């Protein structure tokens, strides 16, 4: 049964169309992910559902007495009420019932239980209180605050003392505990670390109500959602499955529709040539044929699939860099404490050329401080940092505070890179989605995503061979995150990165450094390897025994063996790449035949096979590049 139904909803402003003929429904218990680029209309759609905006056309229907929940509804002001007491306002009806129950209980005691009305009311209130969750609301409140990353000390803080991110987390906690029938979540993981995000995933997976969630966290979407809607170019597209499933379906659908569209357009061109020939004959029967052919073209055009317009995407590629030495960074015995609290102690890092190391840990554990120590911005209490030969560092700061000024976007680039001409800068900014008058925007007025794009362009122009990145995906939409991933995957230098984006970590990491209780430990592999180690329990926490250093002979033998394996693998990859091209050629030849084109299921099957071969080729080419480093 539908609890929300949007029928042909459109929204336009005088200078811009936002949504066009949006139609979808939400059933009880649905968990739907809403994706799309920044500015595509996701938050606007939420505002239409909540009634904050009225559609230009179309209708939104909700089931009677639908309990709708969204974060703005639970916004936290500048009050002096404690964090814990502010959260408890969600349970105001239960707390009032508890107060009445205590009153009745006193009356029953004063009358020695001899007044039937008091006994009856006590029983009635007790039943209602227990069935409404009265026995557990206190523990649920503490559990929710803890899950969202609040300590017991922070629970006692006044709301007015919280940061913007903490207030958002508190509002999210109030929303979760209010248990609406339909919950609207707009970027719920934005201010959460990995531990809190995993707690939220578990909470939402068990949540009985329906959920419509906007998120750029792909790992989160895969864990929580069972269907996906995408807003692009004012239109809505949807399919069953979480984010990863949807993207595969989308790619297959686009390729199939594109092939059908191109086939139809070829047929139209063929018929148009026939019409031109018929016109040259200039006889009456030829005009009858022409009219028939023109109707045939109309039928073909009407049957052509509608190809969704490709939205403009950021073009990001790291240019050639000066090769650094094999040893990129050596840090030993690093310690740092503030106000007697140790963020980390006796931390050591060794990065070699080509490493992609990710620092993981809860908010406030010292990851950004450690980057500051490595960059020389923060003085350690103990230890030292040494960079290798020819190392050129490029730093991406999480907050981009240094760009919060009154320069225009154009001059932000020009002032740092005066050798570039204005036309060259315009061209570069266009690749990062700043076009026309957008390059005259004031840096202070840019959104987080826009400032991140400017920062990435500056990073590329500096041509570093060692990237130190602090939450580089925070303000990027899904498409931009994937473009950044591709660019970093082909980057020939070294990467040290702080990130809460688990999908991003899985895609790029060669190793993970985990912050836990003031110590830093290294785990080979990506986020899934890190998670497996944590789930292994105490045994997995044990530090591995120190390995014996191999002698020169052993080292030479191992190097020779590794080189033989590398050469052998390269030969196998080359052979397989040739096979893939041959297999693709055969499939594409089959697809071009009229018999196959008429068999829709076969087209789908062969197109999927081409996609699988392309994916295999891409993986092999990446491995080939890595082996040739």
pLDDT tens digits along 223-233: 999 999 999 88
Q: What is residue 301's three-state secondary structure?
A: helix
Q: How far apart are CA 481 and CA 489, in angstroms?
A: 12
Nearest-CA neighbor of 46 among 239, 172, 186?
186
Q: How far apart are CA 165 and CA 171, in angstroms?
A: 10
Please give the pLDDT value at position 9.
94
Please give the pLDDT value at position 557.
55
- Whose tokens are 């959920």? That residue is 211
278-313 as b/e: b if 16+ CB within 10 A: beeeeeeeeeebbeeeeeebeeeeeebeeeeeeeee
Q: For the packed helices 137-147 and 194-206, what is the interaxial angle rounded to 10 degrees? A: 140
Q: How far apart are CA 47 and CA 39, in angstroms?
A: 14
Q: Read off the pLDDT of each residue in 497-526 and give the average, rounded to a whole number.
A: 88
For residue range 17-52, list pLDDT tens digits in order.
999 999 999 999 999 999 988 888 999 999 999 999
557-628 carries CATH number 1.10.287: yes
Please give the pLDDT value at position 108.
85
Distances 604 to 234, 267, 608 between C-alpha atoms, Å: 28, 20, 6
Lowest mean pLDDT among 177-181, 196-200, 308-312, 452-456: 308-312
User: 555 pLDDT exceeds 80?
Assistant: no
Query: In terms of CATH, what superfamily is 327-544?
Result: P-loop containing nucleotide triphosphate hydrolases (3.40.50.300)
What's phi and psi for 159, nearest 5 deg? -60, -35
Q: What DSSP element (H or E) covers 271?
A: helix 243-281
CA 608-611-612 angle, 5° bins: 90
327-544 matches 68-245 in CATH topology: yes
Q: Of the ranges 43-47, 359-363, 566-570, 606-610, which is most confident?
A: 43-47
Q: How far apart are CA 434 and CA 427, in angstroms?
A: 9
CA 440-442-448 angle, 5° bins: 115
Please give the pLDDT value at position 544.
41
CA-atom Rg of the chain in angstroms:
30
How many CA atoms, within 13 angstroms, populate the side-chain half-sphere of residue 294? 10
User: 553 pLDDT exceeds 90?
Assistant: no
Total Cβ atoms within 10 A of residue 160: 12
Contact criterion met (CB below 8 Å) for 38 and 447: yes
Largest CA distance in the chain: 113
User: 549 pLDDT exceeds 60?
Assistant: no
What's phi and psi for 203, nearest 5 deg? -60, -50
How many CA atoms, within 13 angstroms, populate the side-chain half-sphere of residue 223? 18
Tokens of 89: 């306002």
Nearest-CA neighbor of 417 among 454, 467, 392?
454
Indicate yes or no: pTM above 0.75: no
C-alpha distance across the termini of the chain, in Å: 57
Please give the pLDDT value at position 546.
39
* Domain regions of the chain by residue span: 68-245, 250-303, 327-544, 557-628
Please give the pLDDT value at position 559.
67
Percent of the chain at pLDDT > 90 equals 33
What's phi and psi for 241, nearest 5 deg? 105, 155
Total Cβ atoms within 10 A of residue 421: 10
Q: How far apart are CA 94 and CA 100, in angstroms?
A: 10
Q: How far apart are CA 545 and CA 85, in angstroms?
A: 49
pLDDT band, residue 580 (cuts 50/70/90) = confident
Please give the pLDDT value at position 25.
94
For residue range 359-409, list pLDDT tens digits in order.
998 887 888 899 999 999 999 999 999 999 999 999 998 877 778 778 898
Contact criterion met (CB below 8 Å) for 74 and 171: yes
Q: What is the CATH number of domain 68-245?
A: 3.40.50.300
Enumerate residues 6+ apart whose C-beta is below 8 A from 566.
627
Q: Read off the pLDDT of each residue in 494-510 and give the average, rounded to a whole number.
A: 92
Distances 287 to 269, 280, 290 between C-alpha atoms, Å: 18, 10, 5
Q: Read off the pLDDT of each residue in 494-499 and give the average, rounded to a whole number.
A: 94
Contact criterion met (CB below 8 Å) for 256 and 604: yes
Distances 315 to 309, 420, 474 between C-alpha atoms, Å: 17, 19, 18
Contact criterion met (CB below 8 Å) for 68 and 89: no
Q: How many residues does the chain have?
A: 629
Nearest-CA neighbor of 470 among 577, 614, 359?
359
Q: Read off the pLDDT of each residue in 46-62 and give the average, rounded to a whole number.
A: 93
User: 548 pLDDT exceeds 50?
Assistant: no
What's phi and psi for 10, nearest 5 deg? -130, 150
- Whose tokens are 């950004």? That residue is 368
Q: What DSSP element (H or E) covers 428?
A: helix 422-431
Give the torsion sign (CA, 356, 357, 363, 364).
Answer: negative
């Amino acid at each position: 049964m539908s609890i929300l139904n949007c029928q042909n909803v459109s929204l336009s402003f005088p200078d811009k169309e936002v949504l066009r003929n949006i139609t979808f429904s939400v059933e009880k218990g649905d968990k739907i992910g809403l994706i799309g680029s920044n500015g595509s209309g996701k938050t606007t759609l939420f505002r239409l559902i909540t009634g904050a905006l009225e559609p230009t056309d179309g209708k939104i229907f909700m089931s009677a007495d639908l309990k709708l929940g969204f974060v703005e509804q639970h916004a936290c002001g500048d009050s002096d009420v404690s964090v814990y007491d502010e959260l408890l306002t969600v349970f105001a009806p239960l707390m009032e019932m508890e107060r009445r129950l205590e009153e009745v209980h006193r009356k029953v005691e004063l009358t020695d239980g001899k007044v039937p009305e008091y006994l009856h009311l006590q029983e009635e209130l007790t039943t209602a209180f227990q069935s409404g969750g009265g026995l557990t609301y206190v523990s649920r409140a503490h559990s929710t605050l803890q899950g969202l990353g609040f300590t017991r000390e922070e629970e006692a803080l006044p709301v007015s003392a919280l940061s913007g991110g903490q207030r958002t987390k508190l509002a999210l906690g109030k929303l979760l505990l209010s248990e609406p029938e339909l919950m609207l979540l707009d970027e719920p993981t934005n201010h959460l670390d990995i531990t809190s995000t995993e707690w939220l995933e578990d909470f939402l997976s068990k949540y009985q109500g329906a959920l419509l969630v906007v998120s750029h966290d792909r790992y989160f979407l895969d864990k929580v959602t069972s269907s996906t809607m995408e807003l692009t170019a004012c239109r809505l597209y949807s399919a069953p499955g979480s984010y990863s499933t949807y993207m595969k379906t989308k790619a297959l659908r686009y390729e199939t529709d594109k092939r059908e569209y191109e086939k139809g357009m070829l047929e139209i061109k063929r018929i148009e040539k026939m019409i031109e020939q018929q016109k040259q004959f200039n006889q009456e029967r030829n005009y009858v044929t022409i009219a028939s052919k023109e109707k045939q073209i109309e039928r073909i055009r009407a049957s052509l699939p509608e190809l969704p317009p490709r939205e403009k995407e950021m073009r990001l590629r790291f240019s050639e860099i000066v090769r650094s030495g094999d040893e990129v960074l050596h840090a030993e015995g690093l310690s740092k404490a503030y106000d007697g609290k140790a963020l980390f102690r006796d931390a050591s890092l060794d990065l070699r050329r080509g490493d992609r190391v990710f620092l993981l840990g809860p908010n406030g554990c010292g990851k950004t401080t450690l980057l500051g120590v490595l960059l020389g911005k923060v003085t350690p209490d103990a230890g030292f940092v040494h960079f290798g030969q020819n190392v050129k560092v490029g730093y991406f700061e999480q907050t981009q505070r240094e760009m919060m000024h009154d320069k225009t976007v154009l001059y932000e680039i020009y002032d740092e890179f005066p050798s570039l001409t204005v036309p060259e800068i315009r061209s570069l900014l266009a690749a990062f989605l700043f076009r026309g008058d957008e390059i005259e925007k004031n840096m202070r007025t840019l959104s987080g995503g826009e400032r991140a794009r400017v920062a990435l362009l500056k990073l590329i122009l500096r041509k570093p061979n060692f990237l130190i990145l602090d939450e580089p995906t925070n303000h990027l939409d899904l498409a931009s995150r994937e473009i950044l991933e591709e660019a970093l995957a082909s980057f020939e230098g070294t990467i040290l990165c702080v990130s809460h984006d688990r999908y991003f970590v899985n895609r790029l990491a060669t190793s993970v450094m985990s912050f836990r209780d003031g110590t830093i430990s290294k785990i080979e592999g990506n986020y899934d390897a890190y998670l497996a180690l944590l789930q292994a329990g105490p045994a997995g926490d044990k530090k591995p025994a120190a390995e014996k250093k191999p002698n020169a002979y052993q080292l030479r033998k191992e190097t020779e063996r590794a080189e033989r394996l590398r050469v052998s693998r390269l030969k196998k990859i080359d052979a397989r790449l040739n096979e893939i091209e041959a297999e693709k050629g055969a499939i594409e030849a089959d697809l071009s035949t009229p018999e196959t084109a008429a068999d829709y299921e076969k087209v789908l099957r062969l197109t999927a096979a081409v996609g699988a071969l392309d994916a295999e080729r891409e993986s092999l080419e990446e491995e080939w590049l890595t082996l040739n480093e």
